[in-house]
Amino acid sequence: MLAALSGGAWLLLPAGQAHAERLCVKWEIRTEDSGMGIQAGPNAGGTEDKYAGANAGATASALGVRVRISRPGWAQTYDTAPGSGCVDWSDSSWSGDYDVRVYGYQTDANDNVVRIHDSQSDSCAVAPGATYSLLIQDYTPSGGTDVMKVGDEIGRWTTQAMLGYGLYRYHDGVHDKTIHAGFDEGNGDGQCNSSAHDGTLNSFITSGRHCVQYSDCAADDDRRKKFLVGHEFGHALTALHYGDKAGATNGDEPGADSGWLGITDDNSCANSSVYDITDVEWSSIAFREGFAHFVSAKIFNDREKSASTGLYEGAFHWGGSHSQDLQRPNRGQVSASDNRYDDLCCASTSGCGTGTGVIGDWMRFLWDWYANEGFLGSCTQQPTKLNMLWLYTRTRQEGGLLRNNYFQKLQDGADAMNLPTCLEDGMLDIHAALNGVDQ
């Protein structure tokens, strides 16, 4: 028989020859929130580091993806390597074509799993739904390394690709956990929601699983928003790290309350019964949402100094035509030396843009502490990604959490982490004050 090789050549395979093959799977994706440059300031035009051009379409290695290779009378299931998206396989008694089924199911080196499924339920009592999959028929192995591209830039496969990439980029200290991702299609009423908190989505973290949902309505389709995909993943990852520790409890962060009742600032900062990056919020919500933002930001940004500014720059998109600046609020329009950024919070209709609310402050505070340029004094140590998960976990372990005391509890949690004193006390407090979250 003839087998197609890359480059258009053909290979004659004698009947009955054993296959020793290598298959590499790649997702075909298209996002809607990539490469949206920062509006102003020292890093104007700056973008995230990863998949910045994906709004025009891109390929992403299907790291740790599950595949089933079959032909009449034979089938084997494999997971591609978490670092390459490739798998070596063999079949000693066949020289014909194969079927390959690629699942919306990816693993990492720590045996964690992210999967997409077809249930719209917001219950996580059991693993929900059936795993989505794609069938590729008439695959003819080349006898070498084959690249198989799947997904056709369809929304749900972009979601899966970004979940798998998130797991590859951020899994330190998390083992044997599963994140189940479904899609909210509105059940006919057109009302869709992306969430990691509805129903019992986060009610089984002590059992090693967390569910999330992504909006899939014509008027509100979040499946191609990689930062939002990473945000809900961030909720699940932080909660699952906390959930396997002694004394952990299921469900929301204690005291989480989106109904801010206090005063707003002189710029009439927006607030409602829901939370947003532009809102004034209780510290319980700002802590929770700020951590989810940070995880998403870290997935798509490297901790590398900019040659032009000397700072660890980064970008994060959350609505609008420009990205948030991880070093400066208001899409880069406020100097990094200014402080009390929450006093600059303003309504989106006032022309100042978004990213100037309390949740944005917390995201930048966490990024600043993680980056820690050491610009004040000689403390140049930097937290690891695992340290950041422990900061979340230690805060929740402190107990006595109320809607308005999360920063104080975070300080206590940091003191229990055995980090360098200048980092857990001095620099943490400095970065908190510079971003206005120390209250």
Task: Say which residues have a Cβ less than 8 Å from residue 39's Cβ, sequence separation at least 6.
Answer: 322, 331, 332, 333, 353
Give the C-alpha separation, 8 to 51, whole Å.
Answer: 30
Q: Are residues 240 and 284 in the same domain?
A: no
How many independent structural domains does the chain possess?
2
Contact 397, 241 (CB under 8 A): no
Integer angstrom CA distances of residue 356 from 278, 280, 344? 6, 9, 6
**Per-residue burial over 186-218, b = 16 or more CB atoms within 10 Å of its CB, e = otherwise:** beeeeebebbbbeeebbbbbbebbbbbbbbbbe
Q: Is residue 258 situated within a structural domain? A: yes
Q: Are residues 268 and 239 in the same domain?
A: no
Strands (E) located in 231-360? 315-316, 324-325
Contact 213, 222 (CB under 8 A): no
Give the C-alpha separation, 384 to 377, whole Å.
Answer: 20
For residue 396 the two structure tokens come to 């929740």
End of a domain among 220, 252, 284? 252
Q: Are residues 248 and 258 in the same domain?
A: no
Domain that holds residue 287: 254-439
Contact 23, 86 (CB under 8 A): yes
For residue 287 the two structure tokens come to 């802590």
Q: Are residues 265 and 340 in the same domain?
A: yes
For residue 378 the two structure tokens come to 């000689």
End of a domain among 252, 283, 308? 252
pTM of structure? 0.90
Q: Over the chain (439 residues), what is each successive 10-residue block's mean pLDDT? A: 36 47 97 95 95 98 98 96 97 88 98 97 95 97 95 98 98 97 80 91 98 91 97 98 97 86 46 59 89 98 92 92 87 54 42 59 94 79 96 97 94 94 90 83
Which of 365, 358, 190 is closest to 275 using CA atoms?
358
End of a domain among 252, 285, 311? 252
> What's the confidence (pLDDT) of residue 277?
62
Q: Are residues 217 and 240 in the same domain?
A: yes
Q: Are residues 360 and 382 in the same domain?
A: yes
For residue 324 the two structure tokens come to 């948030």
**Which residues are bridge partners to 150 per DSSP?**
27
Q: What is the largest CA-CA distance in the chain?
A: 80
